[in-house]
Amino acid sequence: MDKDWLDQLPVNNITQVTPVGGGDVNNAYRITTTDDTLFLLTQPDREADFYIGEIAGLKEFEKAGIFAPRVLDNGQINGDAYLLITYLEAGRGSQTNLGDLVAKLHKYQSKNGKFGFDYPSIGNDLTFDNSWVDSWSELFVNRRLDLLKNTIVKKGLWQEADVKKYERAREIILATLANHESVPSLLHGDLWGGNYMFTDEGKPALIDPSAFYGDREFDLGVTTVFGGFEPDFYAAYNAAYPLDPGANERIVFYRMYYLMLHLMKFGSMYYSGAMGAINEVIANGNK
């Protein structure tokens, strides 16, 4: 990393800078000083407020008593946005403890009783509007699923027959959610297996949030897409915060969302997965 850039960070006595994995959005670095280890995220050619949603999410986690990195500083250097947070040393831990942590997250509900968040979910490919609303269907279906569908079509990844299947699944989702009492839980928003960790002391932590308040089944649906969550996780979660009847069928809605998101971002390699989830929603709705 450029020394002139590093010298403008509010960090003294840097001894080492090591590139590390930061997901598909950020450049990420482990910053070692004579006194501490920090985690740096950067986003080239972006304003500092690129990270405003992530910062707000991490601070909301802190209010809820959820173990996660803490925000140290945010700004812009030479045209690049950056976020400086605490560094957590990786280790191994218990899926049971992880299930308890996610249940604790979901028990924390919005103070205004509404769904959404104070800031949008900003990504390189798409930004989701999180303006507060009374209806979970409005936030999830109208603002997320429909936006994804429109973007997928614009990219030429779906044809007319695919859109018709989506519209049928959409009808089923709306009808099902109309008969389900959603409550606005604090969500991670991107809870795949790469966005949790265990510290070197075995403590579970949630990282890289895209937080907002929504139906807790959203997070659980995302956990089912790429693996990384074991039976002990789901057993502990359900013991701490039992799921409502019909949850397994509704969780498919959020698997469908996450696979559509990946189809939109990464292309046709996710076509069969997204259509498979849509077909599952339709099959469940036809029972």
Cα–Cα nearest to 83, from 9, 13, 16, 18: 9
The residue type of 85 is: I
Return the residue matching tokens 């409005």.
138
Question: For residues 210 and 57, what is the distance between their CA atoms, to the nearest angstrom?
Answer: 7
Question: For residues 188 and 218, what is the distance between their CA atoms, to the nearest angstrom?
Answer: 9
Number of Cβ atoms within 10 Å of the Cβ of 80: 18
Instruction: Please pick, among 100, 190, 208, 215, the residue that the annotation labels catalytic.
Output: 190
Distance from CA of residue 217 to its chain's centroid? 13
HSE-CB of 270 using CA atoms within 13 angstroms: 19
Question: For residues 71 and 62, what is the distance between their CA atoms, to the nearest angstrom?
Answer: 10
Q: Which residues pair with residue 84 across a beta bridge? A: 40, 73
Cα–Cα nearest to 188, from 20, 67, 269: 67
The CA distances from residue 183 to 43, 109, 115, 137, 256, in Å, are 34, 8, 8, 12, 20
Would residue 190 show up in a list of annotated catalytic residues for this protein?
yes
The residue type of 174 is: L
Structure tokens of 128? 């989701």
Question: For residues 280 and 249, what is the distance between their CA atoms, to the nearest angstrom?
Answer: 9
Catalytic residues: 190
